[in-house]
Amino acid sequence: MAPQRPSPLPDPEEIALRALGFLASDEDRLERFLGTTGLGPDTIRESASQPGFLAAVLDHLASDEALLLTFAANHRLDPQAISSARQKLAGPGAPQ
């Protein structure tokens, strides 16, 4: 029997979209995200197509360790993978 390879990590965009879904699945989490970003429920879809939005979603997760760890556990991701995804989405020269 061939050894199993670890499953590949989702791409950064997929991680951020999962994070957005995670935030949207709970009213309190979503309200906090909207309050932090200044977005409204009616503008979030439009904003999602803007450069940097998905990195901002991951920034929001990273700003709250408990939230980050809950998301990571729910999606079976290493928190470091989330940080790496944020860096890739933010691009070179972005603060870490």
| Residue of higher predicted confidence among 18 and 50 | 18
Q: Residue 22 has what pLDDT?
A: 98
Q: Residue 46 has what pLDDT?
A: 86
Residue 12 and residue 54: Cα distance in Å, rounded?
A: 9
Residue 69 and residue 61: Cα distance in Å, rounded?
A: 9
* Under 8 Å between Cβ of 24 and 47: no
**pLDDT tens, 23-77?**
999 999 999 999 999 999 888 888 888 878 999 999 999 999 999 999 999 999 9
* Under 8 Å between Cβ of 34 and 44: yes
Helix 79-90 and helix 12-24, axial crossing angle in degrees, nearest 10:
110
Q: Residue 55 has what pLDDT?
A: 94
Q: Residue 35 has what pLDDT?
A: 95
The full set of domain ranges for the chain reads 12-90
Residue 31's CB is within 10 A of a number of other CB atoms, namely 12
Nearest Cα to Cα of residue 85 among 62, 55, 56, 65: 55
Query: Can you give the pTM of this predicted structure?
Result: 0.83
